[in-house]
Amino acid sequence: MNLVFDILQIIYVITVLSVAAIVISENKNPVKTVSWVLIIVFLPIIGLIWYVLFGQEITKKYTLSKRFYSKLKKRPLDEIGTMEEFAYPRQHASLIHLLKNLDCTPLLGGNDVKIFTHASEKFDHLFSDIEQAEHHIHIDYYIIDDDKISNKLKDALIRKSLQGVEVRLIYDGFGSRRTKKSFFEEMRKAGIECEPFLKFKWNVLARINYRNHRKLIIIDGKIGYIGGMNIADRYIEGFSWGIWRDTHARIEGKGVQGLQSIFFIDWHFVTQTLITSRRYFPVLPKFGDITIQAVNSGPLKEEREIAHGILQAMYDAHKSIFIQTPYFLPPENMIEALQTAAARGVDVRVMTSKNSDMSFVHAAARSYVKQMLQSGVKIYFYRKGFMHSKLMVFDDSLTLLGSANFDARSFEHNFEVEAFVYSNSVAENAKDIFIEDQRYSDKVSLKEWLKRPLLNRFFESLMRLFAPLL
């Protein structure tokens, strides 16, 4: 019996050390490497399973060549030949050039932007736009449930497809895993091209670490929707304990063609088909005076475009930084950027949910509160429901609208999209939304925060060790 036990101990030690050596040799972010080693050493069985699911790098077979990637990203500029000069706040010149250089992201002017904070209003506008579609409808979503609002969308898309409108739909294999195959098959039978993004398979579980978290709709190359609202009833109806508070935007104008480029990058990913036809990038009139860069990021590229853009915006801020996010687990460089901004007199405010749908993530997020408060950052806990909004406002001139949460998963693992909107009027509207939400939020006091039970604080600190992996 002792011999068997000794053999098992030896196998255990060899396995743990071998996996730990593999993790270290992959040259990951040092903080992330330490987190993996800790979980593998102290929770070997759980740690090994967790590493198989979430620690493997995505296969490169889906990677789009740099030449075609650049061609797609620059496609909205083709009919004008050279970059137009659009009006934008000059303090963001460094950010604009950064995003151009990192992601081939053009600056596109002549847009109108409408922000929605109620899902019912967003869907009313969306269905109206779908009914008026003439050439194509492109949809790229993390979650499409099989419920009332999703079936209403399905029926609308089938109706347009039968009228001759091209309809293409991408749904995330993991995010939409609960939706029956028959839901999507019904659309395929009506002529809709419908594809899963990394199809969820139990024998390839490592795929679930890479999720297409985008929420995009492009109609006729001129109207686009981007934000945090998925296609599900809960975004309209909320929970028994409160509303689902989210933010989405409707864009009309040239900026939509930046979103179109991102959709075609995803379409190539799921079908290996490259679409660059001018028919999807029509010549457009001016719909407004708002300038936009549509930025995408994901694990197929070394650059973390959205994270770099946010970091640059923090460095550029002179007056205020307002952040709404459901999950506040910032990487170290962003912690330092927020602390530095607060130290130089910038009004830094972070709003997150008082209650969450993910308890471990929620606990890890709370471990950052003390550090932020001590640096002069103001923290607000939204109490009216679940704060799922991903809204950021810098000074009175830059607004970020999109799908990215304020955490390592969004910045490093997920396929995300953000609209960097350069407009005083949009920023003013976004700040008003934030301030209105403050009415239903509790401002956190450092003195009261430090009085919380020691056990709570210890658990939160423990969960923070795994923040890079959550």
Q: Which residues are catalytic?
A: 213, 215, 220, 388, 390, 395
Rounded CA gap, 11 and 361, in Å?
33
Contact 323, 352 (CB under 8 A): no
Q: Can you say whether residue 303 is alpha, beta or left, with left for phi > 0 and alpha for psi between -120 and 50 degrees?
A: beta
What lies within 8 Å, CB to CB, of 413 at 6+ separation is: 209, 210, 211, 299
**Residue whose entry in the numeric block shows the structure tokens 């912690």:** 335
Concatenate the DSSP letters of all residues of 69-113 into one string.
HHHHHHGGGTTTSS-------GGGHHHHHHHHHHH----EEEEEE
Contact 249, 112 (CB under 8 A): no
Residue 145: closest CA among 178, 123, 173, 184: 178
Token digits of residue 68 = 């075609």
Token digits of residue 403 = 């799908």
Q: 141 in helix, strand or coil?
A: strand
Our separate counts of H helices and E strands in the chain read 18, 19
Residue 255: closest CA among 84, 91, 414, 412: 84
Rounded CA gap, 341 and 332, in Å?
14
